[in-house]
A and B are shown apart, each in its own frame.
Chain A
Amino acid sequence: MTFGDFDLPASLERIRHWLPTQGPIKDFIHHNTLHAFQHLPFYEGVELAAATFGARDYLSLAEYESMWSAGKISDAGISLALAATALPEERRAELRAAMFREAAGGAEPPLPAPDSLRKRWREERGLDLDAKTHPTLFRLLAGYLDQGVGLWRVPHVNHSFYGALARWVEESALPIGTLSRAVCRRLLKLPPADAVKDCLSRMVGDESGWEAYLLDMFLAHPGWSGMVNVLEGSPHSLLERRQISLLEAAAIELILERGQLERDLGADFPPLLAPGTAWKGLRGSESHRNPDRSLHRLWQAALEWTVHGDILAGVAHVARNPAPAPAPKAQALFCIDDRECSLRRHLEELEPRISTFAYAGFFGLDFVFQSVNGGVPIKQCPAPATPRHLIREDAQRNKRPRLRRGIPRHLHSAAHSKTLFRGWMLTPVLGLWSSVRLAQSVLHPTSSWFAQNKVNAAESTVIHYLRNGDEKSIDGYHLGYSYPEMADRVGATLRNIGLTRGFAPLVFIVAHQASSTNNPHFAAYDCGACSGRSGAPNARAFALMANDPELRKILLARGFDIPAETHFVGAIHDTTRDEIAYFDLEALPATHLDAFQEFRIAMGTALGRNASERVRRFELAPRGMDPKSAREHVRLRSEAIFEPRPELNHATNAACIVGRRSLTRSLFLDRRSFLNSYDPTIDPDGDILAGLLGALVPVCGGINLEYFFSRVDNSVYGAGTKLPHNVVGLLGVANGVEGDLRTGLPSQMIELHDPVRLLMLVEQSPEVALRAATKNPAVYEWLKNDWIRFACISPEDASTHILRGSRFERFETGTIPPRAQTSAALLAGQREPLPVHVLSFEVPS
């Protein structure tokens, strides 16, 4: 059979573009939900996406208005948004009036649904194909891709998806959905591409509608389509390998539909497009636009300018009034994560002689980690990187490691309890035991045995970071790093954060992780720079390397004069529990013990204050908790099986500030900002900055926009409420048993988030900043199309500039931010987000 000249692979390539790119949930990688529209300016992209996916593009006008009433949108913000229109004054006044008039106008009409060829089955033939084929399709996909939930595997699972199903259908004496109808059996004998074309020509008719039909079909279940697409591109993200492709999934779905259509409409149903008629619409093409959204754009801009204007004014004020910093007696390097923003402030407020830095939480070490607890090696670096080194953790000699194996604790979930006879024997015993466990977990959650990922100082283990030869692991990784390789990475990290001299006697490398219980999205709470893992191995390895005398020699030769008495200490901060653990303390020189104790005490106090700052945002937490009870409260959250909000994660993130700590040290940013240390004075050409932006833009921008879109339309871009979620095949979550996989973030993670784009503020002159930004076209696309607002503050004259189009414009930060004595004074009795404040705590000189 021949089919015209329809180019199926090219068509699938175009379709691929529109699908979500969320992989298996065990490694949750934040990314721009609307990555497919990033080549367009932000507002156009958002609106086109809404028209394509049938989603919301902005909040409703009434919601914006109520944010204005609540003070979340300020008049200054509205003025800034209107000023950006460059319209004459009286026009702006009219627009402003229109903003409020329309917001008071009640509910808005729903956006028109996307034009769809496939919905004609329902509208013209009265057949709800989705309802009939989706449950079977989802179960076939889940059964084939299952990573360990089901007790039986789909037959022939070692073949490709299409091949396995074709064999199974062939062998089974019993029908499998509609796949066992005669026509489907015939189709399953064809190669998938031929089956697809055969079905399309029979069901759709004219070739003009084929791509539109395929796109409609895939977007009717974006979760599974996206999963298939991701797994086709990176099959290694599965632990049990499978071979699946969009083409094969399309073939199976079309064959299912074909069978269903024949069953319900008869074998001679006419195709959707009568001969000679062509289909013109295609979702995602520029012609598909929703009605004018200028007022929504204005309100959205006003919301963003309220927050960004505030931050810019704060930073500019501090830059114009620099405060002297004392010589540090300890330094601490944190992750750029917005959740560390407040801990650093508390630490420095408490002890101004501690100075803090921030760098992406993998600290420049790209490796896979083999834990002593076994399991597969885990990637410990940002998602796009491909590590080539493996670091192994081992039990210390003469010590038995405390293994954290789960079997006895999770007896109730043992597979046997679900079978017939063994289940019968086990049920009474396990049941009585479960009743005790249930009572304990509900009534007294602090002793829950469920908490995943508790802070662990790894006391009885060692890690092997030094590479001794060319021996490789089975998977082809180098076992550790050679000294030059270490020097490249450690040196680059230190240079990037501007820490090339003035080392304190103690330098702490603080990674972070999050503990939660009963939470399938746990990976979304961990360190994004470590692919959704705990950063502990990285901090530990970094400190060990930096203490290695051999490495110090090489670093000295490269211009890093690290004094002999400087000692690095790795540590891990649990952002949910506000706890910290330090690694390898036995190597701490006796001379440093006092300094270490001082730091540890300060850190303990800071963690308590940090916890009390955090608990104020939890509605169910009692008011006015002191640090001690606040820490108890957050610990409880991480362990209670009934807590869907172990922490608020990146909610309220709105900015990323790249520059010296002096810019932000005395600023109260209310945990809104990612912070990355950077010294503009050692980077006259912007090379370091370009490197930093290459990592920061996709990571911080990805986190920010994932929160943004999950908040704007939680049912299309987000995962909806997590309460009915059901874990499917260890791949993702679905609503109930028959639903599509849900992508994006659950409502519990984003409900306190205000959709504000990221303000990327770099401490650099406009010329250098622009040069750095344009170096990498992929990065520049985010900035020039305004998916991230790019600004710079000049280190020379503290002037602020904002990127509009392709050039920087001077931005006047008019207002002077309010002042407060200390964080504690500012936070007393407050539960809502606070504007940027300048703190005036004492700084000893």
Chain B
Amino acid sequence: MIHAFFAATLLYPLVGALAIAIFGRGSEAVSAGIARVTTVIGTAFSLSLLTAWLSLGATSLQADLGGIGLGGDRTLPLSFLLDGTGAVFLLVTTLASAMVVRYSVVYLHREEGFTRFFSTIYTFLFGMHLVLLAGSLDLLFAGWEIVGIASFLLIGFYGDRELPVRASLRAYAVYRFCDLGLLLGVCLTHFVWRSGLMFQHMEVLDAHASAQWLTGFGLLMLVAACGKSAQFPFSFWLPRAMEGPTPSSAIFYGALSIHVGIFLLLRTSPLWEGSLTARIAIAAVGLLSALVATTSGRAQSNIKGQIAYASITQVGLMLVEVALGLHKLALLHFVGNAFLRCFQLLVSPSILANMLRMRPGPMAPRRSRMAALSPRLAASLYALSFNEWYLEAAIRSLLLRPLRGLGSLLQVKALRAVGALLAIAVLAAVLLRLDDPVTRDLGAAVLATLMLACSVHAVASVGAPERSWNAAAASCFLSGAAVFAASGLESSHDVSVYLLGTVPPWLLGLAVIRIRSGAGNSRIRLSEARAGLLLLFAFLALSGFPIGPAFIGEDHLLHRSVEHHQWLTVMLAVAFVLNGFTLAAAFSQVARGPRRNQSNAVKSSEAPGLRPAPAGELLRKYSKVTPGEAMNSGVMK
């Protein structure tokens, strides 16, 4: 019975998302109907699971729903867990999402992308439920990625304008970078305990590991949390992410997605709580974030940016509470903040009327404590807040610019040819001397280095979609080669699964990119929407999103390497994270971006088909009546 509740709660958003995507295409009424029904049924599922949890003593409820065979003797156990923390988060998720769906069904009426909006929202909810109910860190990671991708898609919901596309990539870049923390955390658990981290056994595990591993684990979790929860030094992406429809901003950055970092820390706290270093780091980051956000928020003169920073401030304080061990307080704080910011965002368009019409007196300049400061200090403090503590600029020049500089070295064609030849030569040498561990290790090192070079090159080539797509794919293939070299024949199955999962999406994506860019005299025509969908699929499959074999393959590769070649694991993780970002960027460039003059931006008036005609053709075609004649005759008076 409990199993059924778990399965139902977990799966209803996925079923809803798929149903809307399949049956709702082109019909707002059908999409809205499915969304409403899914919400009602889903709320019932969630509430019955919560009731069951309460009636069974409100402690910790588990369900093992079998496992996914990964080939060989390995399985990914589908084990789920609901405890107090999860229950509070699940309740807020269920209620807030139900409200937002009901709100959006009317709010998005007649909007282009109505179907897309709801299928993405439900995909997000699926990811959210997976995060909240996961019994292991591996499963949580899968949900974490789904939440990230849904966020990326909804920030870029209005993909025909430049700003949303840029904002969505900015957010996704931060997500990917911080996912490195979670990915390495997962690898660390496999390395230290030889198995995935099961949340119900954490107290036992604690005893088996040395203190520095636990500290390291805590810090990795902190890095992961900082991305999704927009904490220091990554807080800059959140206000800029307010590009989607208001309800999507409300559910992601007011209510739910912004708080998953807190959930992750609460969930894994038994492991790192013993480490003072980790606790101090978490509290320090939280405090710093709160300080950055509260000052930056004061200099925001737009309502959504202000609410975003208010939210970051409170999440920062939650980090402090979590670090201090005040879990119940943090939970209470979360519930309050989630509903408050969600509501504030939903009614943010009202601010004008509230402040103008309801205001009892004339606008008097607010008393400000700034006045008490010396002018120089006040000016500097305002500059600091105005520039949001220069965090974006700092991240760009510390992380992105060196990466791009490094990658642009590889623009030299000859260098790339040398790299390719080297890869082939090393692979051949490894194949010839499979039983020599030294050759294999050396080969793996070279291949992994080349893999990283490809990833970095791909980052530097963002802007040239085809090249960065290929470079990222090459990096994927090299990762397989490196693992093969390191582990030898025993890994051939894993590597082939991985290649099976990456080659088709690479080719698919390449084809779409070439067709869209008009290269290769292709006669195939792809509509914007279809190309976007295909490319999205290719990008997700290639970057190891849990929809294709590449996901299992990626897991294999990491698992293989973690046993004997931990340095390789770290390199693989870095490469996967970088590739995920570049593939997203290539997707954005090809399938998104301004397309003026093609449709009228009003739903009822879309021009059918896409048949670009040269400008003069139109005139020539009706040359019987000369245009000038019609014009001069005063037609158009």
Q: Which A residues form the contact surface with B (CB < 8 A)? A: 25-26, 41-43, 54, 56, 59-60, 62-63, 66, 81, 84-87, 91, 94-95, 98, 101-102, 105-112, 131, 139, 142-143, 146-155, 167-168, 171-177, 239-240, 291-292, 294-295, 297-298, 301, 373-376, 404-407, 409-410, 412-413, 417-420, 423-424, 427-432, 434-435, 437-439, 441-443, 450, 452-453, 517-520, 522, 619-620, 640-645, 711-715, 718, 720-730, 734-739, 747-748, 750-751, 786, 804-805
Contacts and interface: CB of A to CB of B under 8 A. Distances in A.
B99 interface: yes
B300 A374 contact: no
Given A63-B607, A641-B103, A641-B346, A110 B596 contact: yes
B294 A419 contact: yes
Contacts of B628: 292
Contact of B601 (A87, A418, A720): A720
11 contacts: A98-B622, A107-B598, A142-B301, A413-B344, A428-B335, A431-B336, A438-B99, A438-B346, A713-B600, A713-B601, A714-B602
Contacts of A176: 383, 386-387
Given A407-B358, A432-B335, A239 B637 contact: no
Interface residues of B, number: 127
Nearest to B109: A620
Contacts of B370: 152, 155
Contacts of B636: 41-43, 294, 297-298, 301
Interface of B: 95, 99, 102-104, 106-111, 157-158, 161-164, 166-167, 239-240, 242-247, 290-291, 294, 297-310, 313-314, 317, 332-333, 335-340, 342-344, 346-363, 365-366, 368, 370, 375-376, 378-380, 382-387, 390, 596-598, 600-605, 607-616, 618-619, 621-622, 624-625, 627-631, 633-637
Contact of B358 (A25, A405, A435, A737): A405
Nearest to B354: A410
Contacts of A431: 335-340
A155 B382 contact: yes
Interface centre among B107, B161, B348, B349, by most chain A C-beta atoms within 10 angstroms, is B349
Contacts of A517: 350
A723 B631 contact: no
B240 A105 contact: no
A69 B247 CA distance: 37
Nearest to B160: A715
A27 to B, nearest CB: 10
Given A168-B383, A727-B303, A737-B308, 13 more contacts: A25-B352, A94-B622, A102-B618, A102-B622, A105-B621, A155-B370, A294-B630, A418-B307, A418-B309, A619-B109, A724-B244, A735-B163, A786-B637
A412 B238 CA distance: 21
A168 B379 contact: yes
B386 A427 contact: no
Nearest to A300: B636
B283 to A, nearest CB: 14
Contact of B612 (A43, A109, A434, A737): A109
The 8 closest A-B pairs by CB, nearest first: A406-B358, A431-B336, A110-B597, A428-B336, A106-B611, A418-B310, A171-B379, A292-B627
A434 B365 contact: no
Nearest to B622: A98
Contact of B301 (A146, A432, A645, A721): A146
A149 B303 contact: yes
A439 B99 contact: yes
A467 B385 CA distance: 51
A62 B337 CA distance: 50
B359 A406 contact: yes
Contacts of B635: 81, 84-85, 87, 294, 297-298, 301
Given A423-B314, A730-B355, A736 B335 contact: no
B246 A751 contact: no
A239 B355 CA distance: 12
A737 B600 contact: no
Contacts of B297: 151, 418
Given A301-B635, A518-B347, A150 B310 contact: no
A174 B600 contact: no
Contact of B600 (A60, A434, A522): A60
A228 to B, nearest CB: 15
A724 B303 CA distance: 12
Contact of B383 (A172, A406, A407): A172
Contacts of A730: 351-352, 355-356
B365 to A, nearest CB: 7
A644 B164 CA distance: 21
B616 to A, nearest CB: 8
A738 B162 CA distance: 11
B365 A240 contact: yes
A152 B298 contact: yes
Contacts of A452: 350, 353, 357
A788 to B, nearest CB: 13
Contact of A111 (B304, B597, B601): B597
Given A172-B382, A297-B636, A726 B302 contact: yes
Contacts of B336: 427-432
B340 A150 contact: no
Contacts of B613: 105-109
Contacts of B307: 418
Contact of A143 (B299, B365, B633): B299
